[in-house]
Structures are given as structure tokens and as C-alpha cells.
Structure 1
């Protein structure tokens, strides 16, 4: 038997055209400040927008790039690199953030947060 806990809740946060390639935007999803990134033309990722070291809601303004085989964003304040797939902080794992599922529904970008 399925319960609400088993069923992800998807929230539309913006449209595809609202995020330029290789940039991010911020949205509130439930109680979470979430940074949503568009990498290239068709990859989308979401992590916590709050930088865990500074406690500022800024990760969506970071620079998107690659370190080795990982797609990352560099926090604009302390330059920690967060893996966009997992939320892992590469320099200091204790500062890792949550990663959220992202999907498209036509032109809408949806994020699932607990």
C-alpha cells in the first residue's frame, strides 16, 4: 500500500527558458531554499541554496563547471565545490548539502523536496 511518504511531491519552480544554460536560479520548495541549475541545454540539477559555512542563500549564484568527471558549482562566498548530482562538498565533506530530484514536465522544471 502506497502512502504520501512513498510518493514524491513535485513542485513546479520555473520554466526551461527561465534558466540560461550553465547558470542557476533559486526557488522555495516547501521549507527549503533550493538552487536549480541547467547544465548545457538539457541537464538539470538541484541542491540546497544555503551555503552551509556562511548560512547565506547564495549557491544558485555560483559558477557551474567540471572538476575531473564531476559537474559542480562553486559557492560564491567560500568557493567550496558542490557536486550537483550528490550535493557532496569536495573540499570539506562536512559542508555537503542535500541534492533534490529534478524532472521536466513539458517546459516546466519540477523539483521534489521532502
Structure 2
């Protein structure tokens, strides 16, 4: 298993976009947790150009930091992650929970720049 390590310390193009790790640090269809500005973010590489980032905290479990260990899958053409604790399934793009509409997993925009994954956290 590869553990995502922080990228070199450089000034990002925008203060809202932060380097999380190198694309090569991640294994396809496997999550890793990164810490950015004190926030735990789960990052999922689905293909060399398809990366998703969501809160590492499970909304159904009072914020237990486990989502990077979730099971990656799909519902139709929508990529998903299932919580490793109670198996609620969330859309990786929208954070929508398929089994309980009252739950929402926070999502973050991602991009790949120069072989690095960057995540937009906002101010």
C-alpha cells in the first residue's frame, strides 16, 4: 500500500487550491487520507485523470475518520464510496447518500497539475 505524502512545499497558483500528493502516490480505486489546513480529506484515484476528494469523516457515524477506507464502486455511471462502518453508499461527485437522503458527504473539487493532485478547499 502506498501512503500519500505531502507534496513539496510550494506556493499554489491560488490560495484555495492546495497540493495534496502526487498522482503516483495513489493506487487506483483505493482511498488515502491527507491533511490539508487541519482538515482530513479522503482522496480517491479512479483513473490517471479522474480524482475525487471528500471529507474523511463519515456523516452517519458522528464524524468518525474512516472514509478513505471505504469501498469504491459505482451506481450506474456514478462513482461511489461505501462507508466501511455501516456501508452507506455516497456519490463521490456530489456527496449524496443513496440509502439515506438526510446524509451528505462533503465533496471538494480536484485537479491534476504537473503530476500533483490539488484540492480546492476555499477560504
TM-score range relative to shorter protein: 0.7 to 0.9
Q: Does 1:37 align with 2:44?
A: yes
1:67 matched to 2:75: yes
Structure 1 stretches of 4+ with a deviation exceeding 6 A read none
Q: Structure 1 length as normaliser, TM-score? A: 0.87
In angstroms, what is the RMSD of aligned CA positions? Answer: 1.4
- Structure 2: gaps spanning 5 or more residues: 1-13
TM-score, L = length of structure 2: 0.81
Q: Which segments of 5 or more consecutive residues in structure 1 lack a partner in the other structure?
A: 1-6
Displacement after TM superposition at 1:99 (Å): 0.8
Equivalenced residues, count: 108
The structure whose RCO (Cα within 8 Å, separation 6+) is larger is 1
Mapped partners of 1:70, 1:8: distance in 2: 30
